[in-house]
Amino acid sequence: MISPETIDSIRELMAEASVFEDDLEESFILGGGPGGQKTNKTSNVVRLSHEPSGLMVKCGETRSRETNRWLARRTLAEMILEREHKRKSSARQAAEKIRRQKRRRSRRQKEKMLADKHAHSAKKAARRERFEG
């Protein structure tokens, strides 16, 4: 269940994005995936269409239809704000950060990293020789 504070914050986000309930067309789709009989037999996935922007959002994150309704509205408002202000949502920023972390290093970066490691190991070897010898 979504708390009233979360609902208020989603309403504020919708107001900032100029998303009004009259502009939304809401439909419910049969769910699927994990959740068992509850999701497979009920229409708990929400599809929101926003006529002015032409955007469509589907949300089936939870087994609750009511929760999915609010999550879909939040996602839609974030998409509109992202499009208007050319700013990236926190979810997209996190995904891009992971993609950058997984990216292979360039040849120059790899050579520099290995040179630094070699210098560090040489420094430690010299310390060992000094204390042992």
The pLDDT value given to residue 133: 63
- Mind listing the pLDDT tens digit for each residue in 24-77? 999 999 887 777 777 778 888 999 999 998 999 999 888 889 999 999 999 999
Residue 26's SS3 state is strand
Residue 36's SS3 state is coil
The pLDDT value given to residue 38: 73
Which pLDDT band holds residue 109 (cuts at 50, 70, 90)? Answer: very high
Distance CA 123, CA 58 (A): 57
Report CA 71 to chain centroid distance, whole Å.
13
The pLDDT value given to residue 62: 87
In this structure, what token pair is assigned to residue 59?
């949300």
pTM, entire model? 0.65
Whole-number Cα distances in Å, 72 to 17, 40, 81: 14, 20, 14
Mean pLDDT over all residues of the chain? 89
Distance CA 37, CA 22 (A): 33
